[in-house]
A and B are shown apart, each in its own frame.
Chain A
Amino acid sequence: MFRGALDNRIFVALGFFQPNQKKSMKRFFDDELNTIRSHLSLMGEKAIEQLRTAIKALIERDREAAERVRRNDDILDELEVKIDEEAIRFVGLRGPVARDLRLVVVGMKAGHDLERVGDEANNIAKRALKLVDEQPVKEYVDIPRMAAMAEEMLRDALSAFFDGDEAKAIDVCQRDGEVDKINKQLYRELVGCISERPSTTTAAIELMFVSKSLERIADHATNIAEEVIYLLRGEDVRHTKEVSPD
Chain B
Amino acid sequence: MNPEQNHSTNTGNRQAATSRQEVSQQQIQVEAKDLGERASYDPHYIRIRNYDFFYGATQVLFDINMDLPERQVTALIGPSGCGKSTLLRNLNRMNDLIDGIRHNGDVLIDGESIYHPQLEVISLRKRVGMVFQKSNPFPKSIYENVIYSLRVAGGRRKSQLDEAVERSLKRAALWDEVKDRLHESAFSLSGGQMQRLCIARAIANDPEIILMDEPCSALDPIATGKIEDLIHELKENYTIVIVTHNMQQAARVSDRTAFFYLGKLIEYGETQQIFMNPKNNQTEAYVSGRFG
* CB <8 Å contact, A15 and B275: no
Which residues does chain B contribute within 8 Å of A16, judged by CB atoms?
281, 284-285, 290
Taking CB atoms and an 8 Å cut-off, the chain B residues in 240-292 that contact chain A are 247-248, 251, 275-278, 281-282, 284-285, 287-292
| Least CB distance, B189 to chain A, in whole angstroms | 30
B interface residue count range (under 10 / 10 to 19 / 20 to 34 / 35 or more): 10 to 19
A residues sitting closer than 8 Å to B (CB atoms) are: 15-16, 18, 21-22, 24-27, 95-102, 234-235
Mark contacts of B152-165 with chain A using CB atoms, 8 A cut-off: 1 yes-contact digit, 0 otherwise.
00000000000000
* CB <8 Å contact, B281 and A18: yes
- A16-B285, A25-B285 are contacts. A98–B276 as well, Cβ < 8 Å? yes
Q: Which residue of chain B has the shortest Cβ distance to A17 in the bound complex? A: B281
- If over half of B's interface residues share one DSSP class (helix, strand or loop), that class is named, otherwise mixed; here it is helix
Q: Which residue of chain B has the shortest Cβ distance to A18 in the bound complex? A: B281
B residues sitting closer than 8 Å to A (CB atoms) are: 247-248, 251, 275-278, 281-282, 284-285, 287-292
* CB <8 Å contact, A24 and B291: yes
* CB <8 Å contact, A15 and B281: yes
Which residues does chain B contribute within 8 Å of A25, judged by CB atoms?
285, 290-292
Which residues does chain A contribute within 8 Å of B277, judged by CB atoms?
98, 102, 234-235
Query: How many angstroms from the CA of A99 to the CA of B290 in the assembled complex?
Result: 12
* CB <8 Å contact, A97 and B276: yes
One of B275, B282, B291, B292 near A97 (C-beta < 8 A): B275
Which residues does chain B contribute within 8 Å of A96, judged by CB atoms?
288
Most buried by A among B275, B277, B284, B288: B288
One of A95, A98, A235 near B284 (C-beta < 8 A): A98
Query: How many angstroms from the CA of A95 to the CA of B250 in the assembled complex?
Result: 13
* CB <8 Å contact, B290 and A97: no
